[in-house]
Amino acid sequence: ENATKIEQKHFFSKSCVSVAKLTQIYNSNFRTSPNFLFVQFGRYLRDEGGDGYTKNEAKVQLSESFSLSPELFVDPNNAPIGSYHLCGVVNHIGDSPRSGHYTACVRQGDSPDWTFFDDAVGVRRSFNFVHETSQSRCYLALYEWKDNQ
């Protein structure tokens, strides 16, 4: 509902995430800032012939926060003032999208602490742990909007 059009262009600022080797980057014009942005990284490439997959293990530099450029809004002069903050990461460990192991890292609210989940076990961790663990395994990143007004 918030997006009026989708076309292939730049979506994030260069300081946000390095995804050039991982996925296509899209541009949307927003009326307002969505409460959450999900970023899915293309970790698997189909082999020639379509029989299997090759895992793309390019490293991703996850940013703790970023702002959308005013040009991404329908009315750039009235773009909301705020930024997106990383609040969740899903990692995939394995050679195939059809099998493997998933882990997740979650931050609640403005706490600097993260919780790393591996099956039913949750352990408190720092952002540095999240960043190092997720560089070549990050499958999905979740960013939450924080209004600065």
Between CA 113 and CA 14 the distance in angstroms is 26
Between CA 72 and CA 84 the distance in angstroms is 14
Instruction: Quote the pTM value.
Output: 0.76
Per-residue pLDDT of the chain (149 residues), as tens digits, is 333 333 333 344 344 444 444 445 555 678 888 899 998 888 888 888 777 888 888 888 888 999 988 888 889 898 889 999 999 999 999 888 888 999 999 998 888 999 999 988 899 999 999 989 888 899 999 999 998 86
Tell me the chain's radius of gyration from C-alpha atoms.
17
∠ CA 58-59-62 to the nearest 5 degrees?
135
